[in-house]
Amino acid sequence: MSVALGTTRPLPVRTTPVGDPGDLLASLPHTAPYAWVRNGEGLVGWGEAARVAVPPGPGRFAWARKWLATVFGEAQVDDSVRTPGSGAVAFGSFTFDEDAHGSVLVVPRAVLARRGGRAWLTTVGESPLERFTPIRDPGRISYGDGSLSAPEWEHVVAQAAKRIREGELEKVVLARDLVATAERPIDVRLLLSRLSARYPECYTFSVAGLVGATPELLIRRTGQEIESLVLAGTTPRGTGPADDLARGAALLASAKDRHEHECAIASVRQTLAPLCSSLTTPDEPELLMLPNVQHLASHVTGRLADGASVLDVVAAMHPTAAVGGTPTSTAIQVIRELEGMDRAGYAGPVGWIDAHGDGEWGIALRSGLVQGRRARLFAGGGIMGDSDPAAELAEAQAKFRVMQYALEG
């Protein structure tokens, strides 16, 4: 059901310890689940105790915080677990563009979770036993152009690079979409299972039809401690170990990719510093190797100064330079002018928050928007003044393969 701000009914919430549930994703009974899982740990949910469409605009995160405060504040909670992710929990997805419709928050009727050797089940209201529906393969998948064809997108990349060389901005992140159509309705649970098995180090997520496996942790809040994983700078995996090493070394030595990464780190540092009593960012990036690509990665840690919730930090951080560009306001305008599509939730914040303000939010990369037999797949990359359109297209195509694998197996 949808619940409007100011008209909520108190939600009876009960969290109890349970035995090890095994594969969390295998417990999902329905084709439209909620999930946030990495290395077999995390949260999955089903049903809807409360749901709201967050109005677009610059005040959307403040509006979301008010709605959550009302829903969580009026909940009647019996929580014997008392750990981040227990008690009342909401899953959320926010659109990349603050002016776009499509942001949503959902409190599931049931949440099953496992973390640090503990497992628990949260139910909201009188949650009846759910009937498990068999998972069905979507059958043959066909692909078609999204908003722009490949040559059209290369032309857009060339335009963006020219504007950067002319000094209008330092970097812009451009995305493109690909439309997949299946023979039969696409079961999100099948996609989640494939993604989590192939990309266990990524955060496999599902919120309101937005499904993917993102390597990028926007923010994790546990009490006052926060963590973020910044990714910017990418190269495809090699044909073997020696080629991988060579590609990784070239990525670390690439002036273009290092500058792109430095822009991203500077953006995160500038955003988090006012919120934190302490903040640590590494001097040099590391290589993060995934099955399809390698990234330049930097792990950022800090301690919040004033008790901000995880959603407060999300509001401050989005959009990062890693998914928007530098300077941010100029990059967003260039994206609106050149990209030629609505990103929806792609590259926007996705994750969960509990009633204590703890939670984990990622950037919705390597993802698709699933509806019936159709899925819009998204991929993109950072454009610099010396970017080669053909190379950027190849990078985007490599990133598409994550969701193509999820669809095809």
Catalytic residues: 171, 216
How far apart are alpha carbons 34 and 48 in whole angstroms?
10
DSSP β-bridge partners for residue 219: 361
**What would the DSSP string read from start to end of 15-27?**
EEE----SSSGGG
Q: Is the peptide bond before 319 cis (omega within 30 degrees of 0)?
A: yes
What is the C-alpha to C-alpha distance for residues 179 and 368, in angstroms, rounded to an integer?
9
41 bridge partner residues = 38
CA-CA distance, 233 to 297, in Å (whole number)?
8
Instruction: Identify any residues that bridge with 293 across adjacent strands, giving them in sequence order.
Output: 236
* Residue 50 CB-density burial (10 A; 0-12 exposed, 13-18 middle, 19+ buried): buried
**Helices 328-338, 150-165: inter-axial angle, 10-degree rounding:** 150
Alpha-carbon gap, residue 307 to 324, rounded angstroms: 27
Q: What angle do CA 129, 130, 135 make, to 5 degrees?
A: 150
Give per-residue burial for 359-384: e unless 16+ CB within 10 Å, then b: bbbbbbbbbbbbeeeebbbbbbbbbb
Taking Cα atoms as reference points, which of 158, 136, 81, 205 lies closest to residue 373? 136
- Taking the C-alpha atoms of residue 167 and residue 385, their distance in angstroms, rounded to an integer, is 9
Coil, strand or helix: which one is 294?
Answer: strand
d(CA 37, CA 234): 24
Determine contact, residues 218/317, Cβ cutoff 8 Å: yes
Complete DSSP assignment for 320-375 = PTTTSEESHHHHHHHHHHHS-S--TTTTSEEEEEETTS-EEEEE--SEEEEETTEE
81 CA to centre of own chain: 27
How many angstroms separate the CA atoms of 136 and 115, rounded? 29
